[in-house]
A and B are shown apart, each in its own frame.
Chain A
């Protein structure tokens, strides 16, 4: 085990995979200088500028060329810089990468990882702050990964690089610097396997990415009120670990889903619907969501904070759920 940051854990994963497989390469704007968040720092020195490749500010070309390069036998890791910018390459991701295997009758796979740093981060405003993970879960063919810890960022990125599916890999910008113990060995975390962050008996709180840490803080606060919350980190949204959520709800009878992205049409709705369909009789209270209102993200910190779901928000909702149960 080594203590390292979320960003360095991903870098370690990429470097290990590039050493293991000469067909793995990374491409995106600014990679030659370590990437806009430093998450590639030092890699060009080890692997050279062909495998840690700079790119023009052409998201459609970065994505589209990687689709072609994946179909022609390499394994590109695509850096989109900000999740918001990946919207310039939606055709290449949704119509091409996600569909090629199916519409070409299984003649090809498209093994590529699309890294999209997402989320609210230091007054970045509406075009550099979005969390769009739920969009991608809607697209057949894509895998959606939302790591929350340094260890997971290593284990999931390595699995993503080895996956033959196109993987949308959403790292949260606000947790690049968080530190944690990361296994030194060749750790591969499976997709669709949640992690129980904290065990509890009264209410299940499901989250992912940076919001997981907010959920944990809320669980800590709930404990002081005598409420025992179980916190589940989904880690991946497609596939997602229904069994983990079901068995937790079976135990607690209450489900709260929290995410940083907009509540309307968010992945929380999918979880709520699935649990209602399969677990209705186990529920002691209607499923609740704590997620962002449907407004763009602001620049001024007080405005930005207005739409951020806090631990206090989660505690308040969870408390109401406990009080008005049955």
Chain B
């Protein structure tokens, strides 16, 4: 879609407090990606309600500005390690949503051949080294991928996204310390969505939280409004630049809110509806859309992002539903080179 401006709105924009140097095309692209992530998640929720998603899925609705703002600033050869709530990150890193949806449905052609499901989505062809079913386990792996970059002498970086629940597991300390000690090119991004599964994270967190913990390990850390795509994008861009120029690891805390339950099947009755309603008023996609409207971008084009994304993801879902199960021999493949598991098979 070509970026078009509304002349009158643009005059309003020019007289408003929005910075004149705002790169409208950049945020137009973010808006498009955020809508694609939202549409993927909503379609996944539908598939879950239809009983076609086989295991638990964890939706990132409300956290799209972080996924887009972080991952669209990464190059293809940069590494990404994500979490159980990782569909948005994976899509924004460039993975094919059709292969992702096939994986969620456990079908042939799934991105991990139907052997991983939602929590193990990976696409090595775009540097996405895996979501992870174990909270914070991706942190040490991300530091290690950065260690390999340092040993091999590349200019790429490693990026690790995790939730606020992850800061209470040991690998948070060990992995950040490791990255600091070896001055590795890693960007740590904490998506603080307020919940660790069904528990309010702060109720189970002593001290001031992730940013201060990172700083105490000597890692420069910043905090942004994770629902403000401009804040996320600018902070990430600047930090990546510093990491690429040899500055060592960086940490960004992104404040956001998990608009859905822990899993797609969790009604999240443990929180007040008014808090959820309040959080919806801070929806990152609406905020981005307002920004672009005020900057003069035509409303119909922005609307188009939403409708196009929904039709894209619906078509993907329709195709995934038709796909057959994986070939049975795959159960015995990709285990390891040494030894044959068939010898012990029934």
A74 CB contacts on chain B under 8 angstroms:
147-148, 151-152
Interface residues of B in 121-160 (CB under 8 A from A): 122-124, 129-130, 132-134, 137, 139-152, 158
Give the distance in Å from the alpha carbon of A23 to the alpha carbon of B152 in the complex. Answer: 8
Q: Does A40 contact B (CB under 8 A)?
A: no
User: Does A64 lie within 8 Å of B137, measured CB to CB?
Assistant: yes
Q: Does A102 contact B (CB under 8 A)?
A: yes
B142 CB contacts on chain A under 8 angstroms:
68
User: Does A238 lie within 8 Å of B140, measured CB to CB?
Assistant: no
User: Does B341 lie within 8 Å of A140, measured CB to CB?
Assistant: yes
Set B124, B333, B339: member contacting A107, Cβ < 8 A: B124
Residue count of chain B within 8 Å CB distance of chain A: 51
Q: Does B296 contact A (CB under 8 A)?
A: no
Set B115, B124, B140, B178: member contacting A108, Cβ < 8 A: B124
A105 CB contacts on chain B under 8 angstroms:
110-116, 122, 334
Q: Does B338 contact A (CB under 8 A)?
A: yes
Give the distance in Å from the alpha carbon of A192 to the alpha carbon of B120 in the complex. Answer: 31
Set A61, A107, A163: member contacting B140, Cβ < 8 A: A61
- Per-residue contact bits, chain B 217-237, to A (CB 8 Å; 1 contact, 0 not): 000000000000000000000
Give the distance in Å from the alpha carbon of A68 to the alpha carbon of B174 in the complex. Answer: 14
- Per-residue contact bits, chain B 150-187, to A (CB 8 Å; 1 contact, 0 not): 11100000100000000000110011011001000000
Q: Does B204 contact A (CB under 8 A)?
A: no
By size class, the interface of chain A is: 35 or more
Q: Does B203 contact A (CB under 8 A)?
A: no
Q: Which residue of A lies closest to B148 (CB)?
A: A72
Q: What is the distance, in angstroms, from A95's C-beta to the closest C-beta of chain B?
A: 6
Set B140, B340, B343: member contacting A67, Cβ < 8 A: B140
User: Does A165 lie within 8 Å of B140, measured CB to CB?
Assistant: no
User: Does B122 lie within 8 Å of A164, measured CB to CB?
Assistant: no
Interface residues of A in 277-318 (CB under 8 A from B): none
User: Does B337 lie within 8 Å of A164, measured CB to CB?
Assistant: yes
Q: Does B81 contact A (CB under 8 A)?
A: yes
Interface residues of A in 80-104 (CB under 8 A from B): 91-92, 95-96, 100-104
Q: Which residue of A lies closest to B139 (CB)?
A: A64
User: Does A101 lie within 8 Å of B336, measured CB to CB?
Assistant: yes
Give the distance in Å from the alpha carbon of A239 to the alpha carbon of B344 in the complex. Answer: 11
Q: Which residue of A lies closest to B143 (CB)?
A: A65
Give the distance in Å from the alpha carbon of A70 to the alpha carbon of B114 in the complex. Answer: 23
**Assuming A60-B140, A104-B130, is B337 touching A65 (CB within 8 A)?**
no
Set B114, B150, B335: member contacting A101, Cβ < 8 A: B335
Set A68, A142, A163, A164: member contacting B141, Cβ < 8 A: A68
Q: Does A210 contact B (CB under 8 A)?
A: no
User: Does A64 lie within 8 Å of B175, measured CB to CB?
Assistant: yes
**Assuming A65-B144, A72-B145, is B110 touching A60 (CB within 8 A)?**
no
Give the distance in Å from the alpha carbon of A63 to the alpha carbon of B140 in the complex. Answer: 8
Q: Which residue of A lies closest to B127 (CB)?
A: A72
- Per-residue contact bits, chain A 220-239, to B (CB 8 Å; 1 contact, 0 not): 00000000000000000011
Q: What is the distance, in angstroms, from B321's C-beta to the closest C-beta of chain A?
A: 20
- Per-residue contact bits, chain A 14-58, to B (CB 8 Å; 1 contact, 0 not): 000000000101000000000000000000000000110001101
A107 CB contacts on chain B under 8 angstroms:
112, 122-124
4 other A-B residue contacts (CB within 8 Å) besides A72-B129, A105-B114, A163-B338 = A64-B175, A71-B144, A95-B134, A104-B122
Closest 10 A-B residue pairs measured CB to CB?
A64-B140, A68-B144, A239-B339, A65-B144, A105-B112, A72-B148, A61-B174, A68-B141, A105-B113, A106-B334
A interface residues (Cβ-Cβ under 8 A, vs B)? 23, 25, 50-51, 55-56, 58, 60-61, 63-74, 76, 91-92, 95-96, 100-108, 140-143, 163-165, 191-192, 238-239, 242
B interface residues (Cβ-Cβ under 8 A, vs A)? 79, 81, 110-116, 120, 122-124, 129-130, 132-134, 137, 139-152, 158, 170-171, 174-175, 177-178, 181, 333-341, 343
Task: Name 22 interchain pairs, CB-CB below 8 A, sorted by A.
Answer: A61-B177, A64-B139, A64-B144, A65-B140, A65-B147, A65-B178, A66-B144, A68-B145, A68-B147, A69-B148, A70-B144, A70-B148, A72-B147, A96-B134, A101-B334, A104-B130, A105-B111, A105-B112, A106-B113, A141-B336, A142-B336, A238-B339
